Structure 1
Amino acid sequence: MNLAPILLFTYNRPSHTRQTLEALLNNKLAKESELFIFSDGYKNDNDKENVLKVRNIIHSIEGFKQVHIIENAYNFGLAKNIIEGVTQVIDKYGKMIALEDDLITSPYFLTFMNEALEKFENEEKIGHVHAFCYSNLQLPDVFLIKWAGSLGWGTWKRAWRFFNPDGQALLNELKKRNLTKKFDFNGSYPYTRMLRRQIAGINNSWAIRWNASLFLNDMLSVNAGKSLILNIGFDGSGENSGSQDIYKTLLHNGILSTDLGSIEENMEARAEFQRFYRKTHSFWAKVRRRIQRHLKI
């Protein structure tokens, strides 16, 4: 199997970075994989110490086939760092696997990702592979869905060429084709609002633009039905993450098949996502979370 290079994007969280690397090294395919680490530059003197600590950690890492370290001389921000990093590597290697510095991987993460990237490399309807899954969803081990998640993902050069960084153009096309409701899982999750906020500069999400780019090109994602990713970043330490218990999940420590039937969206899985979003993002669900956060203070 021709293994995909792994891209790790880091900033100023040495403890998270160390945990992410340690978990990744526990993957059987780690020693056969090339790792590219993109270390973003610090924004200010307050971040400088931790950025330098992260760089000390990544320069000491061993256990991969080869490690390439790219240190930004100034602060790119997460979106620019990811967009430019993915483009740089995928142009040379044709495919890649991406992680951020707060993602603990199952020992079978690289196996699932590489098998899917190899198996569906020439399947034009598929543009994305994703290894994270919400908890307590009734899903098969692997399924296809018209949605691109960003917590442990991979893609190919042939799909990445559809990435459009222009949020306004993406929104215009969604509205023109009357697709905003479907993009929002029948109104159950505000992805369109997230895109509008990116346009307004309230967020700088690369992920919402990637999601919309694939959606508008009618491309599917191969998704794990049991999570091979544990997100440890929702502790308030991240650049964009905040704190959200709804993203806590159990890490699956087993092999997941990448065998699919027909290449079409699993509508039962889409309905399950919709039920989950309605349960977790309704007005009263948000009120309950705010009360719970207040009581913890």
Structure 2
Amino acid sequence: MQALAPIALFVYNRPKHTERTIKFLKQNELASESRLFVFSDGFRSGADETQVLEVRELLKHIDGFKSVEIIEAKENMGLAKSIITGVSRLINDYKQVIVLEDDLITSPYTLTYFNEALNRYRNEDKVMHISAYMYPLKNAGLPESFFYRAAGSWGWATWERAWKHFEPDIHVLEAQFDPAKKNAFTIDQTMNFWKQVQEFKQGKNNSWAIRWYASVFLKGGLTLNPSQSLVNNIGHDGSGIHSGINDIYNVIINPNPVTKFPDLIEEDRAAYEAIKDFLKHRKGSLWQRIKRYVAEHIIKK
């Protein structure tokens, strides 16, 4: 039996979110058998120092896992470098990793799902990424889990054999896209993935996730996904580095374990169409968009 994958948890300056994330993670049925590594980034400015130190104090009291190691960065690395460095370290040591951030609520079966999938598809080169989050899809006829092209960043796992294909250089990635690939990459232009590539290139974002998805996509890789999400992101309250204020992606976590995994290693067309439909209509009517815009800007002010 393969050893359980280590968990990499990335935290920064949100003590309340971090506390909730750890509370739910501890309730996982495999928590007591799992090694937890918490990567705490250094504060970016004096304004963040108090909360970063508050988070670090909280981390000293974590229990309920096989082992806990806290890695405190002396300087601010930023989320992208922090994740790339931390994931690479654990991949090097353990050949596999489960990755979470400080704003993710997990199901009691999230770690089970990850470890079962890591074991099941360990030697399937085409399967490069396991996601725990899924949009609130309306299509109830989907299988419990399925393959899809995009690599989600809200709770994920991978292996050394896949992570070695991660290409951090945006210019190398961009050069490999033609119009047909751009269309496929953006789910028939229903998601702004290509815009994220361009904004990274222009220094407008510092996303590790768009470079990882592009790396997987260009290798013809697939990602495993649950049809009902096993995590929910609680960071869309304006507190996150890259998150605004909205509930478009809010989900009800699946209370049950995933028991069925696909045998056929190919993208599920019904799931692809359901996701495309969600992405196409996710922002709602014009009136709903106006209300959301007003809410975001009033709260931010």
* TM-score bin (small chain): over 0.9
C-alpha distance in 2, partners of 1:286/1:202? 24
Residue 201 of structure 1 aligns with which residue? 203
Query: TM-score normalised to the size of structure 2?
Result: 0.94
1:105-120 aligned within 5 A: 105-120=106-121
C-alpha distance in 2, partners of 1:244/1:198? 23
Question: Is the counterpart of residue 123 in structure 1 residue 124 in structure 2?
Answer: yes
Query: TM-score normalised to the size of structure 1?
Result: 0.95
Asked whether the equivalents of residues 144 and 261 of structure 2 are also in contact (C-alpha less than 8 Å), the reply is no
Percent of aligned pairs with the same residue?
A: 43
Residue 168 of structure 1 aligns with which residue? 171
**Displacement, 1:92?**
1.0
Q: 1:294 to 1:66 in 2, by over 3 A?
A: closer
Asked whether the equivalents of residues 245 and 296 of structure 2 are also in contact (C-alpha less than 8 Å), the reply is no
Query: For residue 166 of structure 2, what is the amino acid of its counterpart?
Result: F
Asked whether the equivalents of residues 109 and 257 of structure 2 are also in contact (C-alpha less than 8 Å), the reply is yes
Asked whether the equivalents of residues 130 and 151 of structure 1 are also in contact (C-alpha less than 8 Å), the reply is yes
Unpaired runs of 5+ residues, structure 2, are: none
C-alpha distance in 2, partners of 1:116/1:231? 21
2:264 to 256, 262, 265: 262
Deviations 1:75-100 (A, max 9, x none): 00000000000001101100000000
Residue 20 of structure 1 aligns with which residue? 21
C-alpha distance in 1, partners of 2:289/2:118? 37
**Displacement, 1:293?**
4.2
**Displacement, 1:44?**
1.1
**Displacement, 1:292?**
5.2
Query: For residue 203 of structure 2, what is the amino acid of its counterpart?
Result: G
Deviates more, 1:236-245 or 1:284-293: 284-293
Deviations 1:41-65 (A, max 9, x none): 0011110010001001111111100
Residue 229 of structure 1 aligns with which residue? 231
RMSD over aligned CA atoms reads: 1.7
**Displacement, 1:268?**
1.2
Paired positions, count: 296
Deviations 1:138-182 (A, max 9, x none): 23210000110000100000000010001122122113x730011
Query: For residue 156 of structure 2, what is the amino acid of its counterpart?
Result: W
